[in-house]
Amino acid sequence: MHTEIDINIDNVMSKLIKPAGYKALLDLWQTEQGIKLIKDFFQQNLSTELRLRRVTAPLFVLKGLGINDDLNGVERAVTFPIKDLGDKQAEVVHSLAKWKRLTLAEYGIEPGYGIYTDMNAIRADEELDNLHSLYVDQWDWEMTISQADRNLEFLKKVVRRIYSTMLRTEFLTCETYPQLKPFLPSEIHFVHSEELLQMYPGMTAKEREDEICKKYGAVFIMGIGGKLSDGKKHDGRSPDYDDWTTPNSDGFLGLNGDILIWYPVLEHSIELSSMGIRVDKEALLKQLKIEGQEQRENLYFHKKLLDGTLPLSIGGGIGQSRLCMVMLQKAHVGEIQASIWPEEQRRECQENGMNLI
């Protein structure tokens, strides 16, 4: 008879992908060198491509200001009391989606320029598998834009610039380690989540992502956060950063999306970045109403957005460990970063050639 702990372990193990005959192409020391190579090169190129200045970011913020990212609205933030603030609660960030926009205003960043930073987070509710860890590290970036930039064409231009940076990083990595062979396509394909639903009816959102990525190799799926024609969301988005309700020139709703690739090592699609044009006042009020979150209008961040203090912007996050995992052709994110894993998963990984740090 299964105990509750046994059942939880079984659930964790059922999510683990174990590629047949997998063998890491780089040893531990080469892997560490490769991680540094990729991180140094990618962030410098991203900075140049999008005209971003590096800033220092917080690991935690005060609870109750509306600054922390709410992700899908159900994940619990790691919290702790601050003695010298009368035990006020601080939250470890989930991401810096809203903090970055406050920073653009504080630094007076002009349109066409932006910021990037190293974001480190702890997501205690994450379901642990090949791609998901308790520890999240990503490049969070945000760019000030003008009203004229709030359109689908500008969004696609920025996506192509980010993807070209990924291609250059892949080229450098494969030149440095010839045992690695490039697999990313030269172009990224664009599709709206509603189009994807019509193309693959009867499939789950994840199955649709796998199908489209298998077909094109690299895809930007747009319009994530709102309900589709089947009454379901492709994926969840907090209502107060990405704009997923403004009509775009393709006749669909949404000015945001995810960059995904087909990853041959795992034979699955992998999301490398979530990004989008951010809400303006109109979109914020609309999305808060849709989600029944009108009470957020009284929070610190939301008041500043509604009173016009914050600039219009576009931004997103790019997974650091996940990008390194893909570039170094590893089968588990734990081969890239140090984290905590169920002992049974760690043992299974070891038996299948995945040496977790």
**Could you give the residue numbers annotated as active site?**
69, 123, 138, 258, 271, 274
Phi, psi of 205 (to 5 degrees): -60, -40
d(CA 229, CA 195) in angstroms, rounded, equals 10
> Are the beta carbons of 62 and 103 closer than 8 angstroms?
no
Return the half-sphere exposure (C-beta side, CA atoms, 13 A cut-off) of residue 6.
3
Q: Are 281 and 308 in contact (CB under 8 A)?
A: yes
Supply 45's token pair: 């190129």
Written as six digits, the tokens of 352 are: 């299948």
Place of tokens 């016009």: 308
